[in-house]
Amino acid sequence: MVNRLVGVTHFPGSMLIGATKKSSLAEKAGRAIAGQLKAVGINMDFAPVLDVNNNPLNMVIGTRSFGGDPCLVAELGAAFIKGMQEEGIIACAKHFPGHGDTDVDSHLELPVIEHGRERLEKIEIYPFKQAIIAGVDSIMTAHICVPALESRKGVPATLSYDILTGLLREELGYTGLIITDCMEMKAIADTFGTVEGSVMAIKAGADVVLVSHSFDKQKAAIEAIVKEVREGRITEERINQSVLKILGLKEKRIGLENMLVSDYRKINKEIEEEVAYEISRAGVTLVKDESGLIPVKKSGGKKILVIDFSFKRLSLVEDDIENSNLLVNFLKKEGIEVEHKTFLEGDSKLSLHDGIDMVIVFTSNAITNIHQVKIIKKLQAANISFIVLSSNPYDLQLFPEVPTFLTIYDYSPFNIQVAGEIITGKYKAQGVLPVTLKI
């Protein structure tokens, strides 16, 4: 659901793929995304997310996960990796040993997972085991504390020798690249510090350290590691081990003599859009329709009001949230009279003038945006028929009494198109929720 490239096909995110329950579509997504990356000269993607999102309050992973079932996450993750790596792009399973059961965002503070070792192996670690069997090229670490795996209080997985070397290397037999998540995230920066954390990550067993934003901190981290080597606290052999892994992986995937050159002409957008649409159509999920509002009847001059929200952090989507207007455009093409209203942050005044027969309201991560919930409650009080169209299935837990709830998992364009096709009765929704909702 995080889409960094502008002007290329925006593929549906992982949880929608999870709702398809089809590993063949996960593999197709991996291949197609790899094709885009090769065309713009990129040889690596920090995907897929293999966190098992079994905590409804987890806003940092959420729909970036394939779902709440470790077997499903493992199966689809392995298929995605296969598709991507067979096309020559380096895949990265993240965030080891599993960031799914947290309700704290490690961008903001340091999460702790208190589960015992047996439970961790069955759920959190299981998809990573399967990724290793599938031959994943790289694994990214999580800035989370797991006391069952690291006895030192407050030491996150990224900085833990026991987790990176003892568990991942020695117990699980992983021989690929270990990459840290960004060391400027507050889980590291506000505890051990970006620079000292970078040194500790190398000592723990990381091959690549990400310092993703600040040149000064990048430079300081390099200087600190060089100092550790010169003073004998990190051996040159240890550095060389990582360098050889990096060079070996470049050679394996693309060949050092044949580095990728950006060429947009290599993108076959027509084929990619067919794949994206196929995935969207198989995954968009009608969770319930107790009022029988879907399909919407076109006869009788029915007028629909489409409501969406414009918040600074409505979701993790990198595209403009006004993609939601695609639904308005689609409904108009289908001959339905439509009005459109966008609520700005803090605005919860709802007025429904005469002639509005139904409302379709977009929601996303409503747990962090109370104004969305207020609008839903006001629609309920107004006693008007309405459909909730959400990019996050967990939103339903905030208003479980809503009778019609359709989830598209993320605001990628084809998901919205498919939602429109379902609402207008072109075909029935095919997706199945890949997570358990507490309603």
In the beta sheet, which residues pair with residue 44?
90
Give the residue carrying structure tokens 């505890």: 191
Is 169 exposed, middle or buried (CB count within 10 Å of its CB: 0-12, 13-18, 19+)? middle
Are 432 and 287 a contacting pair, CB within 8 Å?
no
Give the residue carrying structure tokens 């998540």: 181
Handedness of CA 246, 252, 254, 256 (dihedral sign): positive
Q: Which of 51, 162, 181, 207 is catalytic?
A: 181
Are 220 and 195 a contacting pair, CB within 8 Å?
yes
Nearby residues of 96 by Cβ (< 8 Å), 6 or more positions away: 50, 125, 128, 139, 140, 141, 142, 157, 163, 168
Q: Give percent helix, percent strand, percent coil of the chain, each to the nearest 5.
A: 45, 15, 45
Are 338 and 304 a contacting pair, CB within 8 Å?
yes
Nearby residues of 244 by Cβ (< 8 Å), 6 or more positions away: none
Are 204 and 164 a contacting pair, CB within 8 Å?
yes
Radius of gyration of the chain (CA): 23
Q: Which of 105, 107, 289, 319 is catalytic?
A: 107
Residue 181 catalytic? yes
Amino acid at 163: I
Amino acid at 318: E
**Angle at 289 (CA atoms; ends 287, 294), nearest 5 degrees:** 115
Residue 95 catalytic? no
The residues that are catalytic are: 107, 181
